[in-house]
Amino acid sequence: MKYTLHFLILISLFLFGCIGTNTNSKTDNYPITNFKVINKFETGFENESEFTKFSVTPQNYLGSTRHELSSENIHSGELAHKAIIYAENNVVERTNTNHRGYPTIQLYKTEQGTFTGKVFTEFWVWLDVPIEQKPNANWFSFATFTSYADDRWARTELANLEKDGIVHLVHVPRQGEKEDDIFQTTETKFPMRKWVKLSILIDYENNNEYNSAYAKVWQDNELVSAARFNPRLDAETIKQYSAGLECLTTWDGENVAQAEELCNLHYTGGLAGMYAPPLIASGTVYNDDLVIMQIE
């Protein structure tokens, strides 16, 4: 199976795309160099009408979160995406009651299709969300990447602000784990109430210096977290999320490739915006100037 990338962006935005093979401009000031752009999506967050073909979370989701395009606080242009938490959600066992305020970007539904191999994502974020030490209030997710286009989010990799005030990769190397085995800063804190640039490189293939799929996160061009990960589901995770899936009635219960084929699971995905645990009672996040590039 050829692995690809399918993006789901948790923010209201305007999307426009271009395809090219030009090398990066020096003025872009990316934390990576000497790459060629194969496919590219950019957004200035100026118009949400381009997202009618994609999924969007409803306004006032669970009675606690809303989102909009706003001119109140911008990095560039006239608008940025703004999401607000205005109440706590209940914690319900075996139910996801996290705050959500976003549309999705699903590249597999566009003319460009999914991005393959190595993908670089960069965006600006302005955050004012209290991160506490107690469970269900002790993190904020800047970006989530999902490996499959089934919209079940069974396999994800996240870039989170954790309770230590530092950005970490989460669900690496496997779902539910957090082992930043390549690098993890212990000193560089994420500043609140200012515009910060986050850059994320994900290589979904194994022909690299780590002999594994890996992800790296930079904060204002400083590396803060890096880890190897397994981008595919494991058999136990498939079983956990497979209840009621008729496509798996003939699955042998062990062969991951067989389950992917039976259910037409295409390795593809990601998102960024307002995604936070239920017991955070208030907070605001702005996102602006997003670029997603398939590179080599």
Q: Taken in order 238, 110, 286, 288, is the CA torsion positive or negative?
A: positive
- Rounded Cα distance, 6 and 229, in Å: 17
Residues 45 and 286 sit within 8 Å (Cβ to Cβ): no
Domain 4-232+267-295 coded CATH 3.30.230.70: no
- Going by pLDDT thresholds of 50, 70 and 90, the confidence category of residue 295 is very high
Q: Residue 109's pLDDT is what? A: 78
Higher pLDDT, 220 or 11: 220
- Going by pLDDT thresholds of 50, 70 and 90, the confidence category of residue 4 is very low
Q: Is the pLDDT assigned to residue 11 strictly greater than 80?
A: no
Domain ranges of the chain: 4-232+267-295
Q: Residue 214's pLDDT is what? A: 95
Q: How many CB atoms within 10 Å of residue 21? A: 9
Q: Residue 75's pLDDT is what? A: 97
Q: State mean pLDDT over 130-144.
A: 93
Question: What confidence tens digit (pLDDT) does each residue in 31-84 have?
Answer: 999 999 999 888 888 987 777 777 778 888 999 999 999 999 999 999 998 999
Q: Residue 138's pLDDT is what? A: 95
DSSP codes, 91-106: --TTS---EEE-B---
For a pLDDT cut of 90, what percent of the chain falls above it?
A: 47
- Rounded Cα distance, 135 and 278, in Å: 10
- The average confidence (pLDDT) of the chain is 83
Provide the whole-model pTM: 0.85
- Rounded Cα distance, 265 and 82, in Å: 32
